[in-house]
């Protein structure tokens, strides 16, 4: 949730220093961990489907 929030703030134009403050990080390096998208773009996210047990 924190990573999603951090990346959303940045996408909305918030400065990284403000995001750092909102997340409560003393160091920008910690905030950078939360801003990392792990190399995935929107088109690369995997979807999961719910499966129900057969009756």
pLDDT digits (tens, 9 = 90+) for 3-13: 889 999 999 99
Q: Could you tell me which residue, 48 or 36, shows the higher pLDDT? A: 36
CB 2 within 8 A of CB 33: no
How does pLDDT run across 17-46, given as a tens digit for each residue?
999 999 999 999 999 998 887 766 656 666
Q: What is the pTM of this model?
A: 0.65
Number of H helices, E strands in the chain: 3, 0
Distance between CA 53 and CA 42 in Å, rounded?
31
Residue 51's pLDDT is 72
């Amino acid at each position: 949730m924190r990573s999603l929030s951090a990346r959303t703030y940045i996408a909305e134009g918030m400065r990284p220093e403000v995001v750092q403050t909102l997340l409560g990080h003393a160091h920008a390096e910690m905030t950078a961990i939360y801003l990392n998208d792990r190399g995935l773009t929107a088109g690369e996210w995997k979807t999961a489907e719910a499966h129900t047990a057969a009756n």
